[in-house]
A and B are shown apart, each in its own frame.
Chain A
Amino acid sequence: GENVEQHPSTLSVQEGDSAVIKCTYSDSASNYFPWYKQELGKRPQLIIDIRSNVGEKKDQRIAVTLNKTAKHFSLHITETQPEDSAVYFCAASRWNSGYALNFGKGTSLLVTP
């Protein structure tokens, strides 16, 4: 089955700096790559996603890039703010998997003022 590796497991940045989280996947048939943000005690919240026919997608301070050849995708957060502190999960899914998501192990991001 699909194996999603996520790095780093923890990341600490100063407010205003950029943060980058990287994921690799093993199944070349995966075609959908979402990123979820989960604050302590809350639901995972979809913050951005990308499909395999697109190389990059941006939404204000958040961007995701996909390299299909290398089978990796990354989340970029610019101008980080303390409220960006949370656990971020990447995931991968293939179209005929019953739409099940395979999650990475998560990155705990801490943004210090």
Chain B
Amino acid sequence: DTEVTQTPKHLVMGMTNKKSLKCEQHMGHRAMYWYKQKAKKPPELMFVYSYEKLSINESVPSRFSPECPNSSLLNLHLHALQPEDSALYLCASSQVGSQKLFFGSGTQLSVL
């Protein structure tokens, strides 16, 4: 299996909702990432997990809460989001030390 799978593909939520994005890979990668991508812009790094521990948090607001329950799964918990948080959320994984990232197809999030 050489894919990074993200669910759901699309998500619409209100500003008071709580939702979670999920990411799964079975390539044995021990580094996993969350990126945010606005339309016609490059992906922006949010979080990096290495060996299931958070290693980088790019000053992301606390309404985004990442979780890495095991080496195959990465979650992003969302709470009290703002309309400007609407974007494509991309998960990626890599071997630790590889620098070669494999991206999932993303979750297109709309906050109303």
A and B: interacting chains? yes
Q: Which residues of A contact B (CB under 8 A)?
A: 32, 34, 36, 42-46, 49, 87, 89, 93, 95, 98-101, 103-106, 108
Q: Distance in Å from the Cβ of B110 to the closest Cβ of chain A?
A: 14
Q: Distance in Å from the Cβ of B101 to the closest Cβ of chain A?
A: 6
Determine the distance from Cα of A87 to Cα of B56 in the docked complex, in whole angstroms. 27
B48 lies within 8 A of A99 (CB): yes
B45 lies within 8 A of A101 (CB): yes
Which residues in B have their C-beta under 8 angstroms from that of A45?
103
The chain A residue with its CB closest to the CB of B43 is: A103
B103 lies within 8 A of A44 (CB): yes
Interface readout for B57-84 with A: 1 if CB under 8 Å, 0 if not?
0000000000000000000000000000
Counting contact residues on chain B (CB < 8 A from A), the size range is 20 to 34
Identify which of B45, B48, B101 gathers the most chain A CB atoms within 10 Å of its CB: B101
Q: Distance in Å from the Cβ of A66 to the closest Cβ of chain B?
A: 15
Cβ contacts A to B, 12 pairs, < 8 Å? A36-B103, A43-B106, A44-B43, A44-B90, A95-B97, A99-B96, A100-B33, A100-B48, A101-B43, A101-B101, A106-B41, A108-B40
Q: Distance in Å from the Cβ of B100 to the closest Cβ of chain A?
A: 7
Which residues in B have their C-beta under 8 angstroms from that of A36?
103
